[in-house]
Amino acid sequence: MRRALLLGLVAGWLTPACAAHEHGAPGQPRDLQGVWEKSLARPALAVGVAFDARGRLWRARVENRQLWISRSDDAGKTFTPPMAVNRVPERIAADGENRPKLAFGKHGELYVSWTQSLAQPFSGHVRFARSLDDGQSFSAPLTVNDNVEIISHRFDSLLVDGRARVWLAWLDKRDASAARQRGERYTGAALYYTVSDDRGATFAPNRRLAGHSCECCRIALARDTDGTPVAFWRHVFGQNTRDHALARLDSAATLRRVSHEQWAVDACPHHGPALSINADGVLHLAWYSGAEKQRGLFYAFSRDRGQSFSAPLAFGQPDAQAGHPQVLALGTRVVLAWKEFDGQQTVIRVQQSRDAGRRFTQPVTLATSASSSDHPLLVSDGTRVLLSWNSLAEGHRLVPLPGNRP
Amino acid sequence: MMPSIRAMLALLALLAGVAAQAAELKPFVAGSLQQIRAAHAGRPFVLALWSLTCSHCQEELARLGALQRRHPQLNVVLISTDTPEDAETLTATLARHGLARAEAWVYADGFTERLRFEIDPRWGGELPRTYFYDRAHTVTARSGALAPAELERRAVAPLAPP
């Protein structure tokens, strides 16, 4: 009895600290440290790829605490020897939701961003570097978050807008940290962003786009046809409803709720959404929900810049763990890609639409692996669409989608 | 209210003693779930998935530990989605929550998608994730840390004699 009471007291003493620190902050149980260190040492499977305006494919991957950039002039068949971005090694997050990012300026600038993992569990800084000589050399990395507490500033997203400004958005726990210091609770994280109008030499003071985002789901960022960046992310509505929200990174920055599965859960899904905007300004959105009555993947479009949305279309097989969706729109062609497990191996499935998302073809399998793997990534050079996928056994693959014009 | 330093030291000493009695972690691989079900044939049990990297799991473990003390006949089976390398931390964490003697497993296959599929093809991987098996092994799944009342209701109801 005495022991039970004491254990209850210990549980009571430790638990609020963990709960209040939701995904990391100083004060986590000390033994988490070792687990965090080991997770950082696992193979970095998340690979970033992007086509530049000249149709050359760039790849960013992490090895031995360095970010390595290489280029392919034949759509991924061969790559140049990789160049290191950070000369001083640092721990770089490269799991499924934390992928290194690449973007391009109007005059051949190459921009890269990533999340640096810090010593405390679940803490990080958003890092940025640029190359002005076609990837021959890189600037010393900048820390973009202007709050530098050892807390979470992670899950970075990178975009160049219509005026060649460089935008970064990420999930930030500074408001949660401030609340804790006041002895208050804070639900989730917050979505912060910054912008550079001098080709990434300097960044404006950080601004908050929205409070109370989900803590560990990637942010989808895309450029609207008027040049404005649009963010799409898993938000926490009310106490713990983890559905999706959209906001334009303009002066109004009005948050619009996109999904209503009502996934009320005190858990972190590690399952972020996807967004693509075609040349007609139609938004195409894909996301995952674990709500009991609506578990699985969903797709919707918006023809009025995110004022209203089509009825969500369920895709993928919930009984095959369908998850980690990608969407890419090219004119009236819309491609959906996602991960499933067929009982023996992981498969990447795709479905395509030729009428701007109204009807889709039957799903087909594009790639398989019986080993650990990255989430799928769709990329386009403006004509073709390719699947980029890295797996432990097979390595990094670029697979052209069926229906690409020769 | 913070405990005094002396009280904390006393508690830590107690924890060290409890950790020393911790049951051995079993490696969870393909086929392990069938083994667990067979071992509990005809009996209700709670299957709880958790990880050291999940803060809500700490709340869930504390509640499961408290429930286990109130209902010693409750069968709790814990599966950690961490790695066997984390064994020491895992057993210490379970001990801290009063779960030192619960049946405990840890993922022992790097291809975690396969393990997750075997446990539940519909589970998206969110943690904590809890399965309530009744006597006939009809199962109810719940995601996220559950309110103590819900956890108790779902875990204890199947214990009533048929």
Residue B56 tokens, joined: 């809500």
Radius of gyration of chain B (CA): 16
Homologous superfamily of the B5-159 domain (CATH): Glutaredoxin (3.40.30.10)
Asked if residue A390 has pLDDT above 80, the reply is yes
Residue in A closest to B129 by C-alpha: A267
Domain ranges of chain B: 5-159
The whole-number pLDDT of residue A265 equals 95
Task: Return residues 78-117 of B near A (CB < 8 Å).
Answer: 82-83, 85-86, 88-89, 92-93, 96-98, 110-114, 116-117
Q: How far is A181 from A185, CA to CA, in rounded Å?
A: 10
Asked if residue B41 has pLDDT above 50, the reply is yes
Residue type, A205: P
Q: How far is B33 from B51, CA to CA, in rounded Å?
A: 18
Q: Check if B27 contacts A (Cβ < 8 Å).
A: no
ipTM over 0.90: no
pLDDT digits (tens, 9 = 90+) for B110-149: 899 999 999 999 999 999 999 999 999 999 999 999 999 9
CA A39 and chain centroid, separation: 18
Choose among A188, A17, A95, A120: nearest CA to A392.
A95
The whole-number pLDDT of residue A31 equals 67
**Average pLDDT score over residue span B69-88:** 94
How many CB atoms lie under 10 A from the CB of residue A163? Answer: 10
Distance from CA of B80 to the nearest CA of A (A): 12
Residue A346 tokens, joined: 């992981």
Name which of A36, A268, A345, A373 to mutate to probe chain B: the one with the most chain B Cβ atoms within 10 A of its Cβ.
A268
Q: How far is A401 from A381, CA to CA, in rounded Å?
A: 13
Contact B65 A7 (CB under 8 A): yes
The CA-based dihedral angle spanning residues A267, A47, A326, A303, taken in that order and rounded to the nearest 10 degrees: 110
| Helices of type H across A271-318 | none
Is A377 buried (19+), middle (13-18) or exposed (0-12) by CB count in 10 A?
A: buried
| Cβ atoms of A231 and A249 closer than 8 Å | yes
B-chain residues near A24 (CB < 8 A): 55
The whole-number pLDDT of residue A27 equals 40
Name which of B4, B5, B57, B58 to mutate to probe chain A: the one with the most chain A Cβ atoms within 10 A of its Cβ.
B58
The whole-number pLDDT of residue A282 equals 97
Query: What Å distances lie between residue A103 and A49, A100, A110, A114, A132, CA to CA?
Result: 9, 11, 6, 12, 12
Contact B93 A343 (CB under 8 A): no
The whole-number pLDDT of residue A32 equals 72
Asked if residue A198 has pLDDT above 60, the reply is yes
H/E element, B65: helix B55-70
A-chain residues near B128 (CB < 8 A): 267
Q: What is the pTM of this model?
A: 0.88
Contact B59 A19 (CB under 8 A): yes
**Average pLDDT score over residue span B19-24:** 55
Asked if residue B20 has pLDDT above 60, the reply is no
Choose among B95, B79, B94: nearest CA to B46.
B79
pLDDT digits (tens, 9 = 90+) for A220-252: 999 999 999 999 999 999 999 999 999 999 888
B-chain residues near A29 (CB < 8 A): 58, 93
Q: How far is A354 from A332, CA to CA, in rounded Å?
A: 6
pLDDT digits (tens, 9 = 90+) for A273-284: 999 999 999 999
The whole-number pLDDT of residue A343 equals 93
Distance from CA of B96 to the nearest CA of A (A): 7
Residue with tokens 């009809």: B138
H/E element, B80: strand B76-80
**Average pLDDT score over residue span A186-191:** 95
